[in-house]
Chain A
Amino acid sequence: DAGITQSPRHKVTETGTPVTLRCHQTENHRYMYWYRQDPGHGLRLIHYSYGVKDTDKGEVSDGYSVSRSKTEDFLLTLESATSSQTSVYFCAISDSAGTYEQFFGPGTRLTVL
Protein backbone atom coordinates (compact mmCIF):
# COMPACT_ATOMS: atom_id res chain seq x y z
CA ASP A 1 0.00 0.00 0.00
CA ALA A 2 2.82 2.40 -0.90
CA GLY A 3 3.76 3.17 2.70
CA ILE A 4 0.32 4.19 3.90
CA THR A 5 -1.26 2.90 7.07
CA GLN A 6 -4.65 3.63 8.54
CA SER A 7 -5.73 3.18 12.12
CA PRO A 8 -7.90 1.75 13.39
CA ARG A 9 -8.82 -0.72 10.65
CA HIS A 10 -12.21 -1.41 12.21
CA LYS A 11 -14.25 0.58 14.68
CA VAL A 12 -17.73 0.33 16.12
CA THR A 13 -19.02 3.36 17.98
CA GLU A 14 -22.26 4.87 19.17
CA THR A 15 -24.16 7.83 17.80
CA GLY A 16 -22.99 11.09 19.29
CA THR A 17 -19.47 10.01 20.19
CA PRO A 18 -16.35 11.60 18.69
CA VAL A 19 -14.20 9.48 16.42
CA THR A 20 -10.74 10.13 15.00
CA LEU A 21 -9.22 8.15 12.17
CA ARG A 22 -5.52 8.37 11.45
CA CYS A 23 -3.62 8.14 8.20
CA HIS A 24 0.14 7.82 8.28
CA GLN A 25 2.49 7.88 5.27
CA THR A 26 6.18 7.22 4.89
CA GLU A 27 6.42 8.49 1.30
CA ASN A 28 6.76 12.23 2.00
CA HIS A 29 3.97 13.01 -0.47
CA ARG A 30 2.59 16.51 -0.37
CA TYR A 31 -1.09 15.71 -0.84
CA MET A 32 -3.23 13.58 1.44
CA TYR A 33 -6.92 12.77 1.05
CA TRP A 34 -9.80 11.27 2.94
CA TYR A 35 -12.57 9.47 1.03
CA ARG A 36 -15.62 7.56 2.05
CA GLN A 37 -16.94 4.67 0.01
CA ASP A 38 -20.55 3.56 0.11
CA PRO A 39 -22.51 1.17 -2.11
CA GLY A 40 -23.66 2.91 -5.27
CA HIS A 41 -21.61 6.04 -4.63
CA GLY A 42 -18.05 5.10 -5.41
CA LEU A 43 -15.30 7.14 -3.78
CA ARG A 44 -16.37 10.53 -2.48
CA LEU A 45 -13.84 13.08 -1.32
CA ILE A 46 -14.32 14.37 2.24
CA HIS A 47 -11.30 16.63 2.76
CA TYR A 48 -7.81 16.87 1.42
CA SER A 49 -4.55 18.49 2.39
CA TYR A 50 -1.94 20.11 0.15
CA GLY A 51 0.60 20.70 2.88
CA VAL A 52 1.10 20.95 6.63
CA LYS A 53 -1.84 22.90 8.05
CA ASP A 54 -3.24 23.43 4.53
CA THR A 55 -6.56 21.70 3.99
CA ASP A 56 -9.62 22.06 1.80
CA LYS A 57 -13.12 20.62 1.65
CA GLY A 58 -14.32 17.94 -0.70
CA GLU A 59 -17.83 17.14 -1.86
CA VAL A 60 -19.04 15.51 1.39
CA SER A 61 -17.28 17.49 4.13
CA ASP A 62 -20.26 18.21 6.41
CA GLY A 63 -19.84 16.56 9.81
CA TYR A 64 -16.10 15.98 9.33
CA SER A 65 -12.98 17.92 10.22
CA VAL A 66 -9.33 17.26 9.47
CA SER A 67 -5.93 18.24 10.72
CA ARG A 68 -2.42 17.89 9.40
CA SER A 69 0.28 18.99 11.81
CA LYS A 70 3.02 16.87 10.22
CA THR A 71 3.71 15.85 6.64
CA GLU A 72 3.21 12.19 7.47
CA ASP A 73 -0.06 12.33 9.41
CA PHE A 74 -3.58 13.31 8.35
CA LEU A 75 -6.37 12.97 10.88
CA LEU A 76 -10.09 12.74 10.13
CA THR A 77 -12.44 13.58 13.01
CA LEU A 78 -16.14 12.98 13.31
CA GLU A 79 -17.08 15.39 16.09
CA SER A 80 -20.37 13.64 16.84
CA ALA A 81 -20.81 10.46 14.85
CA THR A 82 -24.13 9.70 13.16
CA SER A 83 -25.42 6.49 11.61
CA SER A 84 -25.13 8.10 8.15
CA GLN A 85 -21.37 8.16 8.67
CA THR A 86 -21.20 4.39 8.75
CA SER A 87 -18.90 3.71 5.84
CA VAL A 88 -15.51 2.55 4.68
CA TYR A 89 -12.96 5.34 4.85
CA PHE A 90 -9.89 5.44 2.65
CA CYS A 91 -6.86 7.64 2.93
CA ALA A 92 -4.80 8.40 -0.17
CA ILE A 93 -1.59 10.26 -0.94
CA SER A 94 -0.11 11.83 -4.04
CA ASP A 95 2.64 14.14 -5.23
CA SER A 96 0.20 16.29 -7.14
CA ALA A 97 -3.56 16.88 -7.05
CA GLY A 98 -4.92 16.19 -10.50
CA THR A 99 -2.00 15.09 -12.61
CA TYR A 100 -0.56 12.04 -10.91
CA GLU A 101 -1.85 8.85 -9.39
CA GLN A 102 -3.05 8.58 -5.85
CA PHE A 103 -1.92 5.72 -3.64
CA PHE A 104 -4.55 4.33 -1.32
CA GLY A 105 -4.39 2.93 2.17
CA PRO A 106 -6.12 -0.30 3.23
CA GLY A 107 -9.26 1.40 4.55
CA THR A 108 -11.08 1.73 7.86
CA ARG A 109 -14.51 0.24 8.33
CA LEU A 110 -16.52 2.44 10.68
CA THR A 111 -19.88 1.39 12.07
CA VAL A 112 -21.98 3.92 13.98
CA LEU A 113 -24.79 2.31 15.98
Chain B
Amino acid sequence: GESVGLHLPTLSVQEGDNSIINCAYSNSASDYFIWYKQESGKGPQFIIDIRSNMDKRQGQRVTVLLNKTVKHLSLQIAATQPGDSAVYFCAEGAGNTPLVFGKGTRLSVIA
Protein backbone atom coordinates (compact mmCIF):
# COMPACT_ATOMS: atom_id res chain seq x y z
CA GLY B 1 0.00 0.00 0.00
CA GLU B 2 0.93 3.65 -0.11
CA SER B 3 3.28 5.07 2.49
CA VAL B 4 1.28 8.26 2.85
CA GLY B 5 0.82 7.69 6.56
CA LEU B 6 4.48 8.03 7.52
CA HIS B 7 5.16 10.85 10.00
CA LEU B 8 1.46 11.61 10.45
CA PRO B 9 -0.18 12.21 13.82
CA THR B 10 -1.88 8.98 14.85
CA LEU B 11 -5.04 8.43 16.84
CA SER B 12 -5.60 4.96 18.23
CA VAL B 13 -9.08 4.03 19.45
CA GLN B 14 -10.75 0.90 20.67
CA GLU B 15 -13.37 -0.63 18.42
CA GLY B 16 -16.78 0.63 19.46
CA ASP B 17 -15.49 3.83 21.01
CA ASN B 18 -16.07 7.27 19.51
CA SER B 19 -13.24 8.99 17.62
CA ILE B 20 -12.54 12.68 17.39
CA ILE B 21 -10.13 13.97 14.76
CA ASN B 22 -9.17 17.62 14.92
CA CYS B 23 -8.05 20.12 12.34
CA ALA B 24 -6.94 23.73 12.62
CA TYR B 25 -7.43 25.82 9.51
CA SER B 26 -5.58 28.93 8.58
CA ASN B 27 -7.71 31.22 6.44
CA SER B 28 -10.38 33.21 8.25
CA ALA B 29 -12.01 33.87 4.85
CA SER B 30 -12.62 30.16 4.24
CA ASP B 31 -16.30 29.37 4.05
CA TYR B 32 -16.34 25.74 3.01
CA PHE B 33 -14.81 22.80 4.88
CA ILE B 34 -14.61 19.15 4.02
CA TRP B 35 -13.33 15.87 5.43
CA TYR B 36 -11.84 13.09 3.36
CA LYS B 37 -10.92 9.51 4.20
CA GLN B 38 -8.03 7.81 2.46
CA GLU B 39 -7.49 4.08 2.72
CA SER B 40 -4.18 2.52 1.82
CA GLY B 41 -3.64 2.38 -1.92
CA LYS B 42 -6.69 4.48 -2.78
CA GLY B 43 -7.57 8.06 -3.53
CA PRO B 44 -9.23 10.28 -0.92
CA GLN B 45 -12.97 9.82 -0.55
CA PHE B 46 -15.50 12.42 0.57
CA ILE B 47 -16.96 11.92 4.05
CA ILE B 48 -18.81 15.09 4.96
CA ASP B 49 -18.71 18.82 4.39
CA ILE B 50 -19.94 21.95 6.13
CA ARG B 51 -20.36 25.58 5.17
CA SER B 52 -19.49 28.52 7.38
CA ASN B 53 -23.13 29.40 8.06
CA MET B 54 -23.39 26.20 10.11
CA ASP B 55 -21.52 24.98 13.18
CA LYS B 56 -22.56 21.34 13.09
CA ARG B 57 -23.57 18.82 10.49
CA GLN B 58 -24.35 15.15 10.88
CA GLY B 59 -24.06 12.23 8.53
CA GLN B 60 -24.21 8.53 9.01
CA ARG B 61 -22.08 7.86 12.12
CA VAL B 62 -20.11 11.05 11.46
CA THR B 63 -20.49 14.60 12.73
CA VAL B 64 -18.47 17.64 11.72
CA LEU B 65 -18.16 20.57 14.10
CA LEU B 66 -16.97 23.99 13.03
CA ASN B 67 -15.71 26.66 15.42
CA LYS B 68 -14.98 29.75 13.37
CA THR B 69 -13.90 31.76 16.40
CA VAL B 70 -10.79 29.63 16.88
CA LYS B 71 -10.62 28.31 13.29
CA HIS B 72 -11.08 24.73 14.32
CA LEU B 73 -12.78 21.82 12.64
CA SER B 74 -13.41 18.37 14.07
CA LEU B 75 -14.71 15.07 12.78
CA GLN B 76 -16.46 12.76 15.18
CA ILE B 77 -16.96 9.12 14.28
CA ALA B 78 -19.43 7.20 16.42
CA ALA B 79 -18.90 3.56 17.32
CA THR B 80 -15.61 3.31 15.46
CA GLN B 81 -15.17 0.15 13.40
CA PRO B 82 -12.08 -1.54 11.96
CA GLY B 83 -13.13 -0.32 8.52
CA ASP B 84 -12.69 3.24 9.74
CA SER B 85 -8.92 2.75 9.94
CA ALA B 86 -7.48 5.20 7.41
CA VAL B 87 -5.87 8.59 7.02
CA TYR B 88 -8.29 11.49 7.42
CA PHE B 89 -7.76 14.89 5.79
CA CYS B 90 -9.52 18.16 6.34
CA ALA B 91 -9.64 20.83 3.65
CA GLU B 92 -10.77 24.44 3.53
CA GLY B 93 -11.97 26.51 0.62
CA ALA B 94 -13.33 29.87 -0.45
CA GLY B 95 -14.66 31.23 -3.71
CA ASN B 96 -12.60 30.40 -6.77
CA THR B 97 -9.51 29.32 -4.86
CA PRO B 98 -8.81 25.57 -4.88
CA LEU B 99 -9.24 23.65 -1.66
CA VAL B 100 -6.27 23.63 0.70
CA PHE B 101 -5.65 20.29 2.38
CA GLY B 102 -4.25 19.57 5.81
CA LYS B 103 -1.51 16.97 6.27
CA GLY B 104 -3.81 14.33 7.67
CA THR B 105 -4.29 12.16 10.76
CA ARG B 106 -4.01 8.41 10.82
CA LEU B 107 -6.82 6.65 12.66
CA SER B 108 -5.97 3.19 13.92
CA VAL B 109 -8.82 1.07 15.31
CA ILE B 110 -7.88 -1.56 17.85
CA ALA B 111 -10.10 -4.63 17.66
Could you list which residues of chain A lie within 8 angstroms of chain B, going by C-beta atoms? Answer: 1, 31, 33, 37-43, 45, 48, 50, 58, 88, 90, 92, 96-107, 109
A109 to B40, CA, bound (A): 13
Count: A-B pairs, CB below 8 Å: 72
Q: Provide the main secondary structure of the chain B interface.
A: loop
Contact yes or no, B7 A102, CB < 8 A: no
27 A-B contacts, Cβ less than 8 Å apart?
A: A1-B43, A33-B98, A37-B4, A39-B3, A39-B5, A39-B7, A42-B89, A42-B104, A43-B89, A45-B98, A48-B98, A90-B44, A96-B96, A97-B95, A97-B99, A98-B30, A98-B32, A98-B97, A99-B31, A99-B93, A100-B32, A101-B34, A101-B49, A104-B43, A105-B43, A107-B41, A109-B2
